[in-house]
Structure 1
Amino acid sequence: MDTMTTFPENLPPELVERLVTSGGGELARKMNIEFLELSAEHSVASMPVEGNTQVIGLLHGGAHVVLGESLGSVSSAIHAGAGRYAVGIEINATHSRSVTSGIVTATCTALVLGRTLATHEIVVRDEDGRRLSTIRMTNMLRDQ
């Protein structure tokens, strides 16, 4: 996890420790996802296109989803709070534009932050601000 990542003040210390030591998870590290802002309500992350493309050179549709799910999962875990965790139970994505180079940025916005469920919309954009995909994710919040 990059030192530029900002954490909300009320984030449980064990979650900060887990995020910092894991870098957001092995897959997020492999895909070079960088978490820039993190909160339950609004989070931002970026990822290079290079290294995450499919056979004809476009950013892989699954890479969009990994970026979105990584951000939605962390945002849900923040909402869940200390002694709880988030488990993804549903995700869908609509890809509306392709990209072959540069950096993509995902912005995660909470739609519902409940006691047992958290739903987020994640929009992935290219460097020119064009919407590439829209991802919606629901996490179940569980006690440890």
Structure 2
Amino acid sequence: MNANFTPPPFLAELAAAGVPDEYHAWLGDLGVGALVVKMGIVFGEMGAERMTATMPVEGNTQLAGLLHGGAHLVLAETLGSFAAAFHAGPHRRPVGIEIGATHHRGIASGLVTGTATALHLGRTLATHEVVMTDAGGRLLSTARITNMILDA
């Protein structure tokens, strides 16, 4: 190994968040973001058309002990923005311009799984639907996020 080589700063963060090694060169200087780490989000499948991740309920609840509605939106925005970034490629950046959600059912424990599916992948806009479910596959919330894709 070259004595002058400095590894990218976020490799451990990427590994802990479930980001496959094949994306570490691209994301190694960026990481996944402090909020993703704080929320305990771990990626599964990664791609522009479809992206999945899990998030624990524990640590992300509101006063009544249920998963905070804002936590649903954090998971949705994380998935939609990362999927838009995969569509945009390493030399362009997505910027969220719209997000909305409908909460269908509460959850007090366990893991939430989010699945982002592309609705539109254009040159300047990417829109994803993100469905959050519990371990039994029951629908918790549905969100839609649109990202504008900018040149870096």
TM-score, normalising length from structure 1? 0.89
Code of the residue aligned with 1:114 in structure 2: it is G
Of 53, 67, 70, the match for 2:75: 67
Whose radius of gyration is greater, 1 or 2?
Answer: 2
Q: Deviations over 1:43-93 (max 9, x none)?
A: 000000000000010000000000010111001011111211000000000
The secondary structure found in structure 1 opposite 2:115 is strand
Equivalent pairs: percent with the same residue? 56
Of 39, 58, 72, the match for 1:50: 58
Match of 2:3 in 1: none
The alpha-carbon distance between structure 1 residues 12 and 116, as it changes in their structure 2 partners (threshold 3 A), is farther
1:61-140 mapped onto 2 (5 Å cutoff) = 61-140=69-148
For structure 2, which runs of at least 5 residues remain unmatched after alignment?
1-13
Aligned-residue CA RMSD in angstroms?
Answer: 1.7
For structure 1, which runs of at least 5 residues remain unmatched after alignment?
none
Aligned partners of 2:19, 2:34: CA distance in 1, in Å? 17
Would you say the 8 A contact 1:48–1:103 is kept in 2? yes
Would you say the 8 A contact 1:2–1:34 is kept in 2? no
The higher relative CO (CA closer than 8 Å, separation ≥ 6) is in 1
Aligned partners of 1:67, 1:41: CA distance in 2, in Å? 17
Code of the residue aligned with 2:107 in structure 1: it is V
Code of the residue aligned with 1:61 in structure 2: it is G
Of 8, 28, 39, the match for 1:17: 28
The secondary structure found in structure 2 opposite 1:2 is helix
Q: Deviations over 1:77-110 (max 9, x none)?
A: 1111121100000000000000000000000100
TM-score, normalising length from structure 2? 0.85
Q: Deviations over 1:2-42 (max 9, x none)?
A: 364347x6x6942x3245xx2x2100100100011110001
The secondary structure found in structure 1 opposite 2:48 is coil
